[in-house]
Amino acid sequence: MKKVGILGGTFNPPHIGHLLIANEVKHALGLDEVRLIPTAAPPHKEAPGDATAKQRLHMAELAVAGIDGLLVSSFEVERGGVSYTYDTMKQLTDLEPETDFHFIIGGDMIDLLPEWHRIDELVRLVKFVGVGRPGTIGETNFPIMTITIPQIDLSSTLIRQRFADNGTVQLLIPSIVEAFIREEGLYGC
């Protein structure tokens, strides 16, 4: 049976924290691959200069290029609209019944699991894998496997602010992603 990790998010933009999480969980659990799945519609209102779904998808593809076992899926972007994890994972498990899915979340999301859409059904579909994140508790009564990984206090919000303030993003995002952001004039740069 194929073992696949899923790391969802807006990836607005993708940064080294996302790559670190995906790679560390892949190796810790011996997964065949980890798929980054950008959401179609971010949970916040898009601001002027924000990346579109297609731009976020492309940045994620650039970010994982050349990293063994890390892939990007356009599944949610192609479907469009607001994506609930349950809906995505239900469709994926129906499409790939021979795949053992591991849904990767940070400590901030672990704390919010009781609020997730159809969480009781979701925990029966996939194995949850939690990773620590600075400033979060990461405790829940739901079944979740916790993996200890190196932590970095980094967010896409910080990266967007750095671009807006003309600050440095060197070493925080892959240089190819930075070049794309500057070419596209995203995040106020």
> What phi and psi values does residue 3 have, to the nearest 5 degrees?
-110, 120
Distance from C-alpha of 140 to C-alpha of 114, rounded to nearest angstrom: 8
pLDDT value of residue 45: 53
- pTM equals 0.93
CA-based nearest residue to 12, from 50, 44, 47: 50
Strands 99-106 and 2-9 come out as parallel
| 42 preceded by a cis bond (ω within 30 of 0) | no
DSSP tally for the chain: helices H, then strands E: 8, 6
Mean pLDDT by 10 residues, the chain (189 residues): 96 96 97 96 63 96 97 95 91 96 90 91 95 76 91 92 96 98 93
Task: Return left, alpha or beta for 173; rule: phi > 0 is left, psi -120 to 50 is alpha, else beta.
Answer: beta
Please state at what angle helix 53-64 crosses helix 175-184, rounded to 10 degrees.
Answer: 150
Taken in order of first residue, the domains within the chain and their CATH numbers are 2-184 (3.40.50.620)
pLDDT value of residue 110: 86
CA-based nearest residue to 13, from 47, 35, 38, 33: 38
Which stretches does DSSP call E strand in the chain? 2-9, 33-38, 70-72, 99-106, 127-131, 144-147
Distance from C-alpha of 17 to C-alpha of 10, rounded to nearest angstrom: 13
Contacts of residue 10, defined as CB under 8 A and 6 or more positions apart, other chains included, come to 38, 39, 42, 43, 56, 156
Check the CA dihedral 137-141-147-148 and report its sign.
positive
pLDDT value of residue 50: 83
Report the half-sphere exposure of 124 (CA within 13 A, side-chain side). Answer: 3
